[in-house]
Each structure stands twice: as structure tokens, then as C-alpha cells.
């Protein structure tokens, strides 16, 4: 990938995507694969904000049985299988355990019935997948097997449990980047660290955007015929530039990476809030999520705050008796700002928005504008398919079949190996511009916690040579990386 700002400024594209998280990248990839000329801009790094936060799982929607939402469950199962087909290197089967109880929805009989329904709805879950990615059927397990899988942190409630399988994203940031590489391979013009600072309008039609290079502060125009805004919590900001007044509450979510050794399986436990918390193995450590803020947050509230982390720690230790997690065992707070709705059970409270939304802004008088309010990594590809279908209709183009469920992503095959020189590849091929890009998202050595001064300074020296950084720039990059791990 080449960050070619001259190309962005000189061409007119069929589609411009604003936002380079998982929803923007999948939309750009799908549209480019179907033959549209596509550009994408991202104000930070690809997958560097909300998409970095997700709980590292691709799940089949077993919980949707509680509301008999079979359509949504079916979509999740289909998309889970698609990820295993197009990115087998980056996903792997993972066992999940939850304790059975005497409650109506969690007793052994109810869980057995749920697994029977899951087997019917997901009867094709392993179709066309290699044996390494086959998911066994769910089943009930004894208390002894529960303890063997997840330890005794659930005592005294783990008298028996239910076991099922989903996928874990082994290298979640590499998976997100694979969609950027795929879009680039299909001819899309992508650029990170380019902000969509304003809209160019002709009446009520968008003709382009005023773009700003974050590194130089230079501005230039990008022209297109159709526009998709997938900018996460900043989506409403760009919509306002186009005269569209749409907003929704935002909340902060977080997952805690800890120094605790990983267990054999993930453990899901009901919290007092009614949500399920999950303690899962990831990169040899224990990852716990997901915590949710109870009050509305601004889009730029990306920093981890100590009171928020402390409150989540208290909820974790209450939910997992005997875990006794301390703040000094938290090596990284994965956090993001996501769309929310007013919670029905708690006056003034918030809950996570349940469904992703694709908004056609023709109703707002802007006929060539679409926005995405995405909430789930697992179904991002399906949302992108819906978005691209709509873009084709807006452009008046004949429909072209989507093929993103069957095409292997770049670097994502089982036989694909990591680069022998990952830092050089990150800079020269994968559009990495900062030390955090390389340490956290390209090589992943800092994805679970600060990797230590030795590794950081080694990477910084290599980046200095490859990018021509000054001593001052190198020191600034090291300081910025350390701030990324801070809890304020």
C-alpha cells in the first residue's frame, strides 16, 4: 500500500469511504472488488480506534436464542464461517464455558435445548472449512471438566456448565489490516492519517471532501460520486458538514488485558448488571471484557481513565469470585467509544446499541450519502455488502455479485507466514507511519502490554533509519507510545 495523496487529489472516484475501521475497510474492499473506483481516508491508523477494542472473538450469536432472534443468529453463524474461510490464519476455535444454574434460562435443560437449536440453525457451520477450523457441537459438562478448562475462579457456583465453541481472533489487528490490503490489491486508494475536515457541496449533493494531511496540516480536495461515512463515533461530525443532523448517544467500552496466565477455555459469567462478562485466553494472557460506561461520552474520550478502570475491576472481581484482579496486573486497557441507546431498565443509563445501522441519507435530502453505525466486528462484512449494494443503486450501476465471503484475504491464508523483516514490511508495504502503528498494530509485540524499553528502543531505531526521523521525532514517538499504555 502506498499513501498516494496526489492520486487522491487528482482523480474522481465512484466512491469515497470516510473511516478506516473494520466497517469502512470492508466496505472499501467489497466495492473495489465489484469494480468501483474507490478511495478511503482515515484520520488515524487503520483499525486504530474502536476496531482495536473488540473482544477478539468472532461469535455465532448463541445468546440471541434468549430473544428467539433466529435471523440475527443465522447471520452471525454465516459471518463466523466466512471469517474462517477468508482468514484462517487469523482465527482459531476457542472453547467457551458458562455455569448452569437453577434459573429458567441457564438451567441444564434450557442449555441442552439451546444447543439443540444451535445445531439446527447452524447445521452448516463447518461447511467448506478445513478440519482445523471445525467447531464441535455444544454440550453440557461436569463440574470437574469445568474446573479443568477454566480453573476454580468461578467457585462456588461452577457445579456444572455448558460448553460451546466460537472463534478467537489470534491477531485481530492483522485481520483488520488484511481488509485494507485486500482493498488496495483491488485498486482502491487508501490513506491513513488523512482527516475528512469538511464537505464540498453543490446544492444538496456532496461532490467531495476537504481533506487534511494530519502530518503536514496541508489540505486538498477529494472528489467522488458517492460517499460512505463509517467514522465510528465521529460519523455524526462529518454528517453535520453535509448539513445532515443525525446523532446518537455514545458510551465507552473497555476490555482489560492482564498479566494472569491464560486458561484452556473462556469463562462467561453473568454480572449483576445482567450483562455477561467473559474471561478469555489471548496471547498467553487472560483478557476480560466487556465493561461499559453508564453515562454518555464524547467521541474524543479515547483515553483510559482510572475511575472507569477501577469500577470495572470491582465488577470483574464481584462476577468472578476468587479472581481478585489488581490494577497493577492490568497491562493494557483496550477501549473504544461506541453507539448506545437509553437503557430501558435504568433511568438515565445507557446500553450498547443492539444492531448495526445503514442509513440512506436521501431522506435528509443528500442522495449520494450513506452512513454506517456499526456495533459488531463479526458482521462487518455483511454490513459492507449491504452498503455496497446501496451504493451501486445510487450510482445507477447494474448489480454485481458480492464475492467477499469466498475470497481469501491477503496474508490471511493458513500457509502464509510472517515477514522475515516485519518492521520494514510495515513501513514500506503496510502504511505504518508511527512507532505505535508498528509496535501495537503491525508487529503486535505491544498489543497485550508495553513490551519493555529494550524492544521499544530497538523498534524506534529501525523506524528512524527507515523513515528518516530526527532524534527529536524519535523521542517524541517513544513518548507517544508510552502514553498509549497510560491510565490517567
Question: Among the listed ranges 64-73, 246-255, 387-396, which one has the minimum average pLDDT value?
Answer: 64-73
Q: Do domains 5-51+173-247+354-395 and 249-352 have the same CATH topology?
A: no
> Does residue 13 contact residue 39 with C-beta atoms inside 8 Å?
yes
User: Above 90 in pLDDT, residue 365?
Assistant: yes
∠ CA 283-289-295, nearest 5°, is: 145
C-alpha span between 150 and 265 (Å, rounded): 6
> Does residue 121 contact residue 74 with C-beta atoms inside 8 Å?
yes
Domain 249-352 top-level CATH class: alpha beta
∠ CA 365-34-426, nearest 5°, is: 100
Mean pLDDT, the chain, integer:
93
Please tell me whether residue 366 adopts helix, strand or coil conformation: coil
Please tell me whether residue 20 adopts helix, strand or coil conformation: coil
The three cell numbers locating residue 165 = 465453541
Task: Break the chain into its structural domains and give their ranges.
Answer: 5-51+173-247+354-395, 91-169, 249-352, 422-484
The three cell numbers locating residue 38 = 474507490
Q: What is the pLDDT of residues 83-120, one digit of tens each?
A: 999 999 999 999 999 999 888 778 899 999 999 999 99
Banded model confidence at residue 192, pLDDT cuts 50, 70, 90: very high
Banded model confidence at residue 343, pLDDT cuts 50, 70, 90: confident
> Does residue 351 contact residue 192 with C-beta atoms inside 8 Å?
no
The residue behind cell 448539513 is 243
Which fold would CATH assign to domain 5-51+173-247+354-395?
FAD/NAD(P)-binding domain (3.50.50)
Banded model confidence at residue 347, pLDDT cuts 50, 70, 90: very low
Residue 151 DSSP one-character state: T
Q: What is the pLDDT of residues 214-269, one digit of tens each?
A: 999 999 999 999 999 999 999 999 999 999 998 889 999 999 999 999 999 999 99
Q: Which of 312, 320, 276 is nearest to 294 (CA)?
A: 312
Banded model confidence at residue 157, pLDDT cuts 50, 70, 90: low
The three cell numbers locating residue 460 = 524506534
Please tell me whether residue 125 adopts helix, strand or coil conformation: coil
Beta bridge partners of 350: 342
Q: What average pLDDT does range 429-447 have in this prediction?
A: 96
Q: What is the pLDDT of residues 443-472, one digit of tens each?
A: 999 999 999 999 999 999 999 999 999 999
pLDDT value for 67: 82
Q: What average pLDDT does range 307-326 have in this prediction?
A: 92
Q: What average pLDDT does range 75-88 have in this prediction?
A: 96
- Determine what percent of the chain is predicted with pLDDT higher than 90: 81
Give CA separation, 117 vs 141, 148, 322, in Å.
18, 27, 34
The pTM assigned to this predicted structure is 0.95
> Does residue 285 contact residue 329 with C-beta atoms inside 8 Å?
no
For 195-243, the DSSP string reads EEEEEEEETTEEEEEEEEETTT--EEEEEEEEEEE--GGGHHHHHHHTT
Identify how many contiguous H helices and E strands the chain contains and give both numbers: 14, 18
> What are phi and psi for residue 381, nearest 5 degrees?
-65, -40
Q: What is the pLDDT of residues 397-420, one digit of tens each?
A: 999 999 999 999 999 998 898 888
Beta bridge partners of 198: 210
pLDDT value for 102: 80
> What are phi and psi for residue 235, nearest 5 degrees?
-60, -45
Amino acid at each position: 500500500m502506498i499513501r498516494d495523496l496526489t492520486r487522491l487529489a487528482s482523480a474522481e472516484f465512484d466512491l469515497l469511504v470516510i473511516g478506516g475501521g473494520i466497517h469502512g475497510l470492508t466496505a472499501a474492499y467489497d466495492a473495489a472488488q465489484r469494480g468501483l473506483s474507490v478511495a478511503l481516508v482515515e484520520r488515524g491508523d487503520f483499525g486504530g480506534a474502536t476496531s482495536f477494542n473488540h473482544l477478539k472473538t468472532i461469535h455465532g450469536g448463541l445468546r440471541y436464542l434468549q430473544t428467539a432472534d433466529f435471523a440475527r443468529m443465522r447471520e452471525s453463524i454465516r459471518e463466523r464461517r466466512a471469517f474462517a474461510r477468508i482468514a484462517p490464519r487469523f482465527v482459531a476455535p476457542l472453547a467457551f464455558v458458562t455455569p448452569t444454574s437453577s434459573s429458567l434460562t441457564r438451567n441444564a435443560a434450557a442449555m441442552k435445548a439451546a444447543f439443540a437449536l444451535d445445531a439446527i440453525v447452524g447445521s452448516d457451520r463447518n461447511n467448506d472449512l478445513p478440519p482445523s477450523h471445525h467447531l464441535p457441537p455444544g454440550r453440557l459438562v461436569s463440574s470437574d471438566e469445568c474446573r479443568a478448562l477454566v480453573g476454580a475462579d468461578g467457585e462456588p457456583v461452577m457445579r456444572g456448565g455448558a460448553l460451546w465453541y466460537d472463534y478467537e481472533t489470534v491477531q485481530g489487528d492483522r485481520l483488520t489490516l488484511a481488509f485494507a490490503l485486500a482493498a488496495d490489491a483491488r485498486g482502491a486508494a487508501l490513506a491513513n492519517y488523512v482527516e475528512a475536515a469538511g464537505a464540498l457541496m453543490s446544492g444538496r449533493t456532496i461532490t467531495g471532501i476537504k481533506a487534511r494531511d494530519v502530518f503536514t496540516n496541508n489540505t486538498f480536495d477529494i472528489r467522488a460520486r458517492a460517499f460512505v461515512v463509517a467514522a465510528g463515533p465521529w460519523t455524526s461530525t462529518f454528517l453535520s458538514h453535509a448539513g445532515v443532523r443525525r446523532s446518537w448517544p455514545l458510551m465507552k467500552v473497555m476490555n482489560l488485558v492482564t498479566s494472569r496466565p491464560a486458561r484452556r477455555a473462556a469463562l462467561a459469567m453473568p454480572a449483576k448488571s445482567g450483562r455477561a462478562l467473559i474471561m478469555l485466553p489471548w496471547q498467553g494472557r487472560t483478557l476480560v471484557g466487556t465493561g461499559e460506561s453508564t453515562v454518555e461520552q464524547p467521541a474524543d474520550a479515547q483515553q483510559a481513565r482510572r475511575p472507569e478502570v477501577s469500577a470495572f475491576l470491582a465488577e470483574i472481581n464481584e462476577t468472578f469470585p476468587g479472581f481478585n484482579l489488581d490494577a497493577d496486573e492490568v497491562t493494557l486497557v483496550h477501549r473504544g467509544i461506541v453507539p448506545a441507546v437509553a437503557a430501558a431498565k435504568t433511568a438515565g443509563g445507557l446500553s450498547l446499541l443492539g444492531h448495526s445501522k445503514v442509513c440512506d441519507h436521501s431522506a435528509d435530502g443528500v442522495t449520494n450519502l450513506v452512513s454506517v453505525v456499526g456495533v459488531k466486528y463479526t458482521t462487518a462484512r455483511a454490513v459492507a455488502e449491504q452498503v455496497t449494494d446501496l451504493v451501486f443503486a445510487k450510482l445507477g450501476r447494474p448489480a454485481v455479485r458480492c464475492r467477499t465471503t469466498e475470497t481469501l484475504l491477503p496474508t490471511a491464508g493458513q500457509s502464509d507466514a510472517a515477514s522475515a523483516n516485519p518492521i520494514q514490511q510495515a513501513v514500506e508495504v503496510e502504511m505504518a507511519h508511527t512507532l505505535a502503528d508498528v509496535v501495537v498494530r503491525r508487529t503486535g509485540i505491544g498489543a497485550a502490554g508495553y513490551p519493555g524499553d529494550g524492544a521499544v528502543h530497538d523498534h524506534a531505531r529501525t523506524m528512524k533509519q527507515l523513515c528518516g526521523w530526527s532524534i527529536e521525532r524519535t523521542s517524541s514517538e517513544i513518548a507517544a507510545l508510552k502514553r498509549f499504555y497510560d491510565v490517567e
